[in-house]
Amino acid sequence: MAAPIAKSIGSNWSAGNNGGILDTGAAATGFYHIHLIKNPTTQAVDVLASLSATAPMLPAGYTLFRRIGSQWLGSGGLWLQLLQRGQEFWWPGVSLDVAVTNLGVALTNYTLASVPLGVQVQAILNVIGWSSSQNCIWVVHDKAMADVAPGYNAYGTGAEVTTVSSGNVTEIRVWTDTAQGIVARSTTANTTFRIATRGWFDLLGK
């Protein structure tokens, strides 16, 4: 694209600056995938927003597309602010996506609502945990990885080394599945466990 253009999420796609951007339907709160699209006959290049990361509804004549990012459409039809650094996308603040008091010894699925749906990304997370049990260790990882019990002779994301529930905070990066999912487990029942999402790294088809 030779120059920036402005598009409106309030209407279906139309060509050019100040045209609509939505591929189909009416805009609703949630993540939208932003695609660069091209008509190879006319060489026209434009931008399209879709709920689909892989199969947007392309306008007539446009047969080429590439996903270039994802954005959250908030209430009132306004995009939430994101800070982009190359292929990293950061929220200005944090989003508490997990807050439980019952993380246990079994591997448990959790959903990170603050990263895009429909595509795998590497979530940038602050993981917070505490327990009244000394030497409690917890772990967070990609669903595709083997389920290995955390421990001092194995691995972990964080640990409670006292008996006064002082807690531990760790910043880690974990790949999600396309349903925003990750997994976690602890060495101790009823571990208090929180995940604050800072942002994500996106391969963007590379």
Condensed to tens digits (0 to 9), the pLDDT of residues 165-205 reads 667 888 999 999 999 999 999 999 999 999 999 999 999 97
pTM above 0.85, yes or no: yes
According to the model, what pLDDT value does residue 130 have?
87
Local confidence band at 53 (pLDDT 50, 70, 90 cut-offs): very high
According to the model, what pLDDT value does residue 34 have?
97
Query: Which segments of the chain belong to CATH 2.60.120?
Result: 88-201
Q: Which residues sit opposite 132 in a β-bridge?
A: none
Local confidence band at 164 (pLDDT 50, 70, 90 cut-offs): low
Q: Which fold has domain 88-201?
A: Jelly Rolls (2.60.120)
According to the model, what pLDDT value does residue 155 have?
81
106-136 per-residue burial string, b: 16 or more CB within 10 A, e: under 16: eebebebebbbbbbbbbbbbebbbbbebeeb
The mean pLDDT of 14-33, rounded to a whole number, is: 95
What are the C-alpha distances in Å from 37 to residues 7, 8, 17, 63, 99? 14, 16, 14, 8, 39
Closest CA to 69 of 49, 97, 44: 49
The mean pLDDT of 101-109, rounded to a whole number, is: 96
Local confidence band at 131 (pLDDT 50, 70, 90 cut-offs): confident
Q: Which residues sit opposite 200 in a β-bridge?
A: 89, 123
